[in-house]
A and B are shown apart, each in its own frame.
Chain A
Amino acid sequence: MATVFRRNPRQTSSRDSAPGPRFAFFAAVSIALMLLDQRGGWINDARFYLQTATQPVQSLVNSPRTVFTWIGGLFESRESLRAEIAGLKTRERELSLAQMRFEALEHENAQLRALKAALPPLVSRQQVAEVVSLEMNPLRQRLLVNKGKRDEIFDGQAVLDARGLLGQVSRAGPWSAEIILITDPEHAVPVQLARNGLRSIAVGAGNSGELLLPYLPVNSDVKAGDLLVTSGLGGVFPAGYPVAVVTGIKRDPVMLLAQVRARPLATLERDREVMLVWFDASHPAAPVTRKAAELPQVTLGAPTDRTGEASTDEPAPGAEGEGATDAQGKP
């Protein structure tokens, strides 16, 4: 009897007569999710995969633009294409001239460094990836691209576009990867002024056209128009890649630090394609991996560490050191 009543849609079922407990339940679930998300950990991975699952929605939203550009491409006139080809040809000529000079410089550099042969190219491999979706809000500046672990993309890989540094891979999934842009407020790039080698850190400001350099002293030698390049510290980006141009400096004598703003060279919000880059680890400008950057273990009291270059010849420097401390401790 009761089941018959419940099936009748006009009968107020238990579902809408008690919205309070339902709301309490969903509110509790939401709050639990928020706490977990705030703490990070496994839920970040879950979130990444869910986000990847919503990728079709993103491409659906972007589809009108894709269709418009496709139709525009169909009606592009012969003249404009010819003009584009001519422009590209002159650019190619200029670049190959610069390349000639560059190669000569490379050899000269190798000779100056007293190396036997020219250095191998810094970029050992590159992979072009298409931007699937982008998040550009003050809290998150991220891109999702259509290449992932299947294309050997790894976490922390440097991402460039034709003009400069774009960001790094923050999470690589099997078929897609999330890229954190240099303008994300949670991202910082170790940089160097190309003019005088002054090192600092460029932090994202949360909008696609701005970086902040919050750690430069008031009296530091910075000018508007200075080029910022990667300094190679930090173990992610190689040295010498252009990042941004200084746009404005505010020096308040009361403050210890100058407020320096810079504009990224990469066209963060207009890029449809980005470049993921692998670097040759044997090149001196390549980013130092964390393993290699770790300082050798120095045991206190072991005298061999000062003179010995490779402690592998020593049978057991640790044991010796312990013996020494014991001997010191005894009297």
Chain B
Amino acid sequence: MSLRKTRDSYLLVYGTVFIALLLMLVPLPRFLSVLRPSFVALAILYWSTMSPRSGGILVGFLAGLMLDLLQGSLLGEHALAMSLLAYLAVRLHLMTRAKPIFEQGLLVLISLLLYEGLIWAIDGWSGHPLNSWLRWLPCFIGAASWPVVVGLLGRLHSPR
């Protein structure tokens, strides 16, 4: 019984992260793609916070690696940043869960900025600096859409 339950939740986690990956790849007009938040990062944050057992660092690492392959960035770049994101969320999950949604959003904003900052640093180190202010915009949009993420993914599973 319990085994089946965990398997279901694994399926749920990998399924939603995969859908988030697809959303990242859907071609959009330029002005929209600049605004597009990192759906994968949001999904990883959600699952690492609400269900750290089935969603965690491994899921983050794999999702980041897929993102690297599909977007053609330096192999391991998003994998590292996504692992860090998952690690932070798993570490702080008890604290985060107890907070009201507004404070959760603030924590999400900080995590997303950290994530983007790490990617920015790696981009610069590997010789592809992209110093546009626009690259930080999706972090704020992602943090603002945190309640929506919680509402949507929360319907799919009841946090234990």
Which positions in A face B, CB cutoff 8 Å?
8-9, 13, 15-16, 19-20, 22-23, 26-27, 29-34, 36-38, 43, 47, 50-51, 54, 57-58, 60-62, 65, 135, 137-140, 142
Considering only residues 46-80 of chain B, those with a C-beta below 8 Å from chain A are: 52-53, 56-58, 60-61, 64, 66, 69-77, 79-80
Contact B83 A30 (CB under 8 A): yes
Complex: A47 Cα to B52 Cα, angstroms: 30
Majority secondary structure, A binding face: helix
Interchain CB contact (< 8 A) of A30 among B2, B26, B80, B128: B80
Minimum CB distance partner of B77 in chain A: A34
29 contacts between A and B (CB under 8 A): A9-B6, A15-B53, A19-B52, A19-B56, A19-B90, A22-B58, A22-B87, A23-B57, A23-B84, A26-B58, A29-B79, A30-B77, A30-B83, A31-B76, A31-B80, A34-B80, A37-B75, A47-B69, A57-B22, A57-B25, A57-B70, A60-B22, A61-B27, A135-B71, A138-B130, A139-B73, A139-B130, A140-B72, A142-B72
A20 — which chain B residues lie within 8 A by C-beta?
87
Q: How many A-B residue pairs have CB under 8 A?
A: 103
- Given A9-B5, A34-B122, A54-B66, do A135 and B61 touch, yes or no (CB 8 Å)? no
Complex: A15 Cα to B59 Cα, angstroms: 13
Complex: A37 Cα to B68 Cα, angstroms: 11
Majority secondary structure, B binding face: helix
B157 within 8 A of A: no
Minimum CB distance partner of B89 in chain A: A19
A36 — which chain B residues lie within 8 A by C-beta?
75
Complex: A43 Cα to B75 Cα, angstroms: 9
Contact A16 B5 (CB under 8 A): no
Identify 4 new A-B residue pairs, CB closer than 8 A, beyond the known A30-B79, A34-B76. Answer: A9-B2, A23-B87, A27-B83, A33-B79
Complex: A22 Cα to B2 Cα, angstroms: 25
A137 — which chain B residues lie within 8 A by C-beta?
71-72
Minimum CB distance partner of A140 in chain B: B72
Complex: A126 Cα to B54 Cα, angstroms: 51
Minimum CB distance partner of A50 in chain B: B69
B66 — which chain A residues lie within 8 A by C-beta?
54
| Closest chain A CB from B52 CB (angstroms) | 5
A61 — which chain B residues lie within 8 A by C-beta?
22, 25-27
Complex: A68 Cα to B80 Cα, angstroms: 37
User: A-facing mask of B133-156, CB < 8 A → 1, else 0?
Assistant: 000000000000000000000000
Minimum CB distance partner of A25 in chain B: B57
B91 within 8 A of A: yes
Complex: A19 Cα to B56 Cα, angstroms: 9
B21 within 8 A of A: yes
A51 — which chain B residues lie within 8 A by C-beta?
69-70, 72
Minimum CB distance partner of A61 in chain B: B25
Contact B2 A8 (CB under 8 A): yes
A8 — which chain B residues lie within 8 A by C-beta?
2
4 interchain residue pairs of minimum CB distance: A33-B76, A30-B80, A23-B87, A30-B76
User: A-facing mask of B12-55, CB < 8 A → 1, else 0?
Assistant: 00000000011001110000000000000000000000001100
| Closest chain A CB from B128 CB (angstroms) | 5
A9 — which chain B residues lie within 8 A by C-beta?
2-3, 5-6, 53
- Given A16-B56, A34-B122, do A29 and B61 touch, yes or no (CB 8 Å)? yes
Most chain A CB inside 10 Å of its own CB: which residue of B57, B60, B61, B73: B57
- Given A37-B76, A38-B74, do A19 and B69 touch, yes or no (CB 8 Å)? no
B52 — which chain A residues lie within 8 A by C-beta?
16, 19
A60 — which chain B residues lie within 8 A by C-beta?
22
| Closest chain B CB from A96 CB (angstroms) | 38
